């Protein structure tokens, strides 16, 4: 577990995207690339199975209540065996299915399209993520929420989603992410 202290979010991470000190993807990085960038359903499925293992790592909630699991809303679908779903949806479904909490795809909505953050300079990612206009429903009030994302670099997207959940009254926000990448 890592902490995104500046965002007030605990981060549970499956693995790194890149090998240390070189431009070769790790096993997790290759799976994410194949699933997210090449639309390979088999890679998305394998990644979801591995990601579901994070359910056991999640600390119990302070009050013993069940969490809500919410994927970061995306505008980029990835095909999987069940239909057109974004990779974060596939990961969230796997995590919820492993007992991390109730899957709530509708808990957070995105009100505006933005470019993929990988195409935005790191110093502009926070404002770009905020421009997505994430909004959380009142159902977040008093609940512990796990935000699922596929890749994290600066934490801008997770931070924007966590902020909207806290504004909606979430008791706590935790992030579960498949891969952390680094700036090149």
Tell me the sheet residues that pair with 172: 144
Tell me the sheet residues that pair with 176: 12, 148
Query: CB of 30 within 8 A of CB of 65?
Result: no
Q: What does the pLDDT average to over 92-102?
A: 96
Query: CB of 160 within 8 A of CB of 130?
Result: yes
Between the two ends of the chain, the Cα-to-Cα distance in Å is 23
pLDDT tens digit sequence for 72-90 = 987 544 444 444 568 999 9
Task: Describe the crossing of helices 87-95 and 41-52 by its angle, rounded to 10 degrees.
Answer: 30
pLDDT of amino acid 83: 45
Tokens of 100: 């991390």
Half-sphere exposure of 124 (CA within 13 A, CB side): 9
pLDDT of amino acid 46: 96
Would you place residue 101 in the very low, low, confident or very high pLDDT band (cuts 50, 70, 90)?
very high
Tokens of 162: 């966590």
pLDDT tens digit sequence for 121-148 = 878 888 888 888 899 999 999 999 999 9
Half-sphere exposure of 68 (CA within 13 A, CB side): 24
Would the pTM count as exceeding 0.85?
yes
- List Cα–Cα distances, 150 to 32, 61, 66, in angstroms: 7, 23, 22
Mean pLDDT (the chain) is: 87
Domain map (residue ranges) of the chain = 2-180
CATH class of 2-180: alpha beta
């Amino acid at each position: 577990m890592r902490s995104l202290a500046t965002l007030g979010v605990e981060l549970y991470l499956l693995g790194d995207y890149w090998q240390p000190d070189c431009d070769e993807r790790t096993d997790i990085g290759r799976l994410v690339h194949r699933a997210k960038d090449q639309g390979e359903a088999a890679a998305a499925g394998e990644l979801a199975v591995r990601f579901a293992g994070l359910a056991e790592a999640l600390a119990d909630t302070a009050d013993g209540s069940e969490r809500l699991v919410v994927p970061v809303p995306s505008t980029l679908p990835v095909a999987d065996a069940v239909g057109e779903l974004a990779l974060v949806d596939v990961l969230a479904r796997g995590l919820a299915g492993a007992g991390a909490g109730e899957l709530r795809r509708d808990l957070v909505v995105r009100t505006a399209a933005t470019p993929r953050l990988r195409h935005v300079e790191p110093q502009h990612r926070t404002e770009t993520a905020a421009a997505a206009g994430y909004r959380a429903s009142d159902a977040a009030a008093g609940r512990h929420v796990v935000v699922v994302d596929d890749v994290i670099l600066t934490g801008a997207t997770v931070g924007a989603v966590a902020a909207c959940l806290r504004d909606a009254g979430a008791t706590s926000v935790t992030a579960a992410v498949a891969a952390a990448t680094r700036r090149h």
